[in-house]
């Protein structure tokens, strides 16, 4: 694995990675919950609050929750609670620790692929300090990203070992790591295709890059694909389970047309590339705004087409370019928006693994420069790496709490109903009712057809004691988001405050049937005699 490099060189590389990790992320130990999904993952999910248990293991593997099925991620959250309680600080530290391990694995992977210590370290540093990755690390709810990344990288290393020394035992290590990645986050479904890319470069298995007769080349590819059929079947199974889990969260075609999804796909790919190079305007939310056909879609499509054509044309001389490019395109495909889940146009967290393909291609370019060329390149790269580190440090600061996080969203993307709802929730929790009402009202005016905005306004009205108006807002919210357990629970509370206990009992019971894991509903139901 270490290709004859002196032991101290690898120790130095790991030390540099650990120092960079500490510089960027040391503050997160004092951060709280973000105000977006964190509470849902930990505080409001009874099985997680209860810590690790046999019943929790059964629940993690058999239930869909928060439109996801990622049992290993749930178990990791349960283990956090068992070890540290529900305080957010230690959970942040665990995310950072896993990201640190992933950066070391990225170094090992790059070293095996590039066979150059300096280039491998650059790849690992880019992976560690890139601002696009802050969202995956500083957000407790994105434990699934870093955990999936850990097993994804282990699977890649296991595959390189298998390709060099084939055997049943080596293949089983690949399968095991792949299954664990899928159980952490289904975005790993593309891993078998990444294995095929590695077959092309750097492995060049059976001389697949050599060209030759079409029949021979096709036969080689078919053999390599057949070898991965069990892995593709695992991907298919994971994909079907994920579709079942996320059905309620998917945007119907009536809401987002096929034409819009295709345009957003091109624009999102281009935006990810831009943010990889110049990560200066990053936010946790990028709304689905109307797309300018000639101003955004056409330039994005032309840029993607030109880069794809260049990678294809140069594939024999510079195979790492097409491998890195296809790695980026393919691993992003499950979350690029063709099947839209949620209301975001794109998300920084989705680049956690896709960016590594681009970094490896860049590392391959560095590795071919030779001694003097490499030294000059490293000298030129040092300021860029420092700049990325500084930007990542700034980005981490926005995750210190909901106010910083969502105020930054408004600064970066302009108006966003999600940001206003989240700020309303934050101000309400801090006791600033007027500010909360202002943000909640603004959210309703921006997107009156979304149930969440009416739910946010209802929360403010409940605190103000206007239970009749809160009831109206909650009924409107339920019309927009039928079957939402949290909304039914809140409507029950509004009715209970008006003394309408039978109606309150009905909605509490309905909420519990919809989501048996919403622990506070049980207490509400007991209070009204349910």
Question: Facing residues of 283 across strands?
Answer: none
Cα gap 175→169, rounded to integer Å:
10
User: Do 162 and 238 lie in a common domain?
Assistant: yes
Write down which residue in 366, 400, 434 finishes a domain.
400
User: Do 286 and 334 lie in a common domain?
Assistant: yes
User: Do 212 and 70 lie in a common domain?
Assistant: yes
Cα gap 232→23, rounded to integer Å:
40
List pLDDT tens digits, range 493-506.
999 999 999 999 99
List pLDDT tens digits, range 390-412.
999 999 999 999 999 999 999 99
The verdict on residue 3 lying in a domain is no
Map tokens 């300021």 to a residue. 383
Cα gap 187→106, rounded to integer Å:
18
The verdict on residue 2 lying in a domain is no
71-84 vs 168-184: helix axis angle to the nearest 10? Answer: 70
State the residue range of the domain holding 196.
Answer: 13-400
Cα gap 12→121, rounded to integer Å:
10
User: Do 268 and 392 lie in a common domain?
Assistant: yes
The verdict on residue 4 lying in a domain is no
Is the pLDDT at 3 greater than 80? The verdict is: no
Is the pLDDT at 167 greater than 70? The verdict is: yes
Q: Return the SS3 of 500.
A: coil
List pLDDT tens digits, range 231-263.
999 999 999 999 888 876 555 545 678 999 999
The verdict on residue 296 lying in a domain is yes
Give me the mean pLDDT over the 272-280 stretch.
Answer: 98
List pLDDT tens digits, range 341-361.
777 899 999 999 999 999 999
Query: How would you label 240-254 residue by residue, b for 16+ Cβ within 10 Å and e otherwise?
Result: eebeebbeeeebeee
The verdict on residue 6 lying in a domain is no
List pLDDT tens digits, range 168-210.
999 999 999 999 999 999 999 999 999 999 999 999 986 767 6
Give me the mean pLDDT over the 453-467 stretch.
Answer: 96
Supply the CATH number for residue 414's domain: 1.25.40.10
Write down which residue in 368, 400, 432 finishes a domain.
400
User: Do 218 and 336 lie in a common domain?
Assistant: yes
The verdict on residue 461 lying in a domain is yes
List pLDDT tens digits, range 90-140.
999 999 999 999 999 999 999 999 999 999 999 999 999 999 999 999 999
Minimum mean pLDDT range among 5-19, 276-290, 438-452:
5-19
User: Do 319 and 198 lie in a common domain?
Assistant: yes
354-367 vs 88-114: helix axis angle to the nearest 10? Answer: 40
How many independent structural domains does the chain possess? Answer: 2
User: Do 197 and 217 lie in a common domain?
Assistant: yes
Length of the chain: 530
The closest alpha carbon to 75, from 89, 57, 99, 93, belongs to: 57
Write down which residue in 365, 400, 435 finishes a domain.
400
Which two three-digit tokens encode residue 15?
Answer: 């030390």
Is the pLDDT at 277 greater than 80? The verdict is: yes
List pLDDT tens digits, range 26-84.
999 999 999 888 988 998 888 999 999 999 999 999 998 888 999 999 999 999 999 99
Share the mean pLDDT of the chain: 93
| 75 and 52 Cβ atoms separated by less than 8 Å | yes
User: Do 259 and 313 lie in a common domain?
Assistant: yes
User: Do 396 and 406 lie in a common domain?
Assistant: no
User: Do 320 and 459 lie in a common domain?
Assistant: no
Is the pLDDT at 525 greater than 90? The verdict is: no
Q: Is 137 exposed, middle or buried (0-12, 13-18, 19+ CB in 10 A)?
A: buried
CA dihedral 184, 188, 194, 195 (to 10 degrees): 50
The verdict on residue 312 lying in a domain is yes
Give me the mean pLDDT over the 297-306 stretch.
Answer: 98
- Predicted confidence at residue 92, as pLDDT, reads 98
């Amino acid at each position: 694995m270490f290709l004859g490099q002196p032991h101290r060189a690898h120790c130095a590389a790991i030390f540099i990675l650990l120092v960079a990790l500490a510089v960027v992320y040391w503050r997160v130990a004092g951060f709280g919950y973000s105000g977006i999904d964190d509470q849902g993952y930990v505080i409001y999910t009874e099985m997680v609050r209860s810590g690790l248990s046999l019943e929790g293991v059964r629940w993690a593997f058999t239930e869909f929750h928060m439109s996801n099925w990622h049992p290993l991620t749930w178990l990791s959250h349960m283990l956090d609670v068992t070890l540290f309680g529900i305080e957010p600080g230690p959970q942040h530290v665990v995310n950072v620790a896993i990201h640190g391990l992933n950066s070391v694995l990225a170094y090992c992977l790059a070293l095996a692929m590039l066979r150059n210590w300096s280039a491998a370290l650059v790849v690992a540093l880019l992976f560690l300090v890139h601002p696009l990755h802050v969202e995956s690390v500083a957000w407790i709810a994105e434990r699934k990203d870093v955990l999936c990344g850990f097993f994804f990288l282990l699977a890649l290393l296991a595959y390189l070992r298998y390709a060099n020394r084939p055997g049943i035992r080596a293949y089983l290590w690949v399968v095991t790591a792949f299954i664990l990645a899928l159980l952490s986050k289904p975005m790993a479904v593309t891993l078998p295709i990444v294995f095929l890319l590695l077959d092309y470069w750097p492995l060049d298995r059976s001389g697949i890059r050599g060209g030759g007769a079409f029949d021979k080349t096709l036969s080689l590819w078919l053999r390599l694909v057949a070898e991965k059929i069990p892995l593709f079947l695992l991907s298919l199974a994971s994909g079907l389970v994920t579709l079942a889990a996320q059905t309620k969260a998917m945007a119907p075609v009536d809401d987002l047309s096929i034409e819009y999804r295709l345009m957003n796909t091109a624009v999102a790919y281009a935006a990810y590339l831009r943010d990889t190079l110049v990560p200066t305007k990053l936010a946790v939310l990028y709304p689905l705004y109307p797309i300018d056909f000639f101003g955004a879609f056409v330039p994005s499509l032309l840029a993607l087409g030109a880069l794809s054509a260049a990678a294809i044309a140069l594939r024999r001389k510079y195979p790492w370019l097409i491998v890195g490019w296809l790695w980026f395109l393919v691993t992003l495909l499950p979350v690029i928006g063709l099947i839209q889940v949620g209301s975001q146009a794109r998300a920084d967290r989705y680049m956690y693994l896709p960016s590594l393909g681009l970094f490896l291609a860049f590392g391959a370019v560095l590795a071919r420069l030779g001694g003097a060329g490499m030294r000059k390149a490293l000298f030129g790269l040092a300021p860029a790496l420092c700049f990325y580190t500084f930007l990542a440090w700034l980005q981490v600061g926005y995750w210190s709490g909901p106010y910083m996080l969502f105020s930054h969203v408004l600064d970066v993307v302009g108006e966003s109903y999600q940001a206003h709802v989240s700020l309303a929730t934050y101000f309400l929790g801090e006791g600033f009712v007027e500010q909360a009402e202002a943000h909640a009202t603004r959210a309703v005016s921006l997107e009156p057809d979304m149930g969440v905005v009416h739910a946010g306004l209802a929360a403010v009205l409940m605190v103000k004691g206007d239970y009749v108006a809160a009831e109206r807002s909650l009924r409107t919210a339920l019309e927009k988001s039928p079957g939402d357990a949290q909304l039914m629970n809140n409507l029950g509370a509004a009715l209970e405050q008006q003394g309408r206990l039978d109606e309150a009992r009905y909605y509490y019971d309905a909420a519990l049937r919809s989501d048996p894991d919403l622990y506070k509903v049980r207490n509400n139901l007991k209070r009204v005699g349910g």
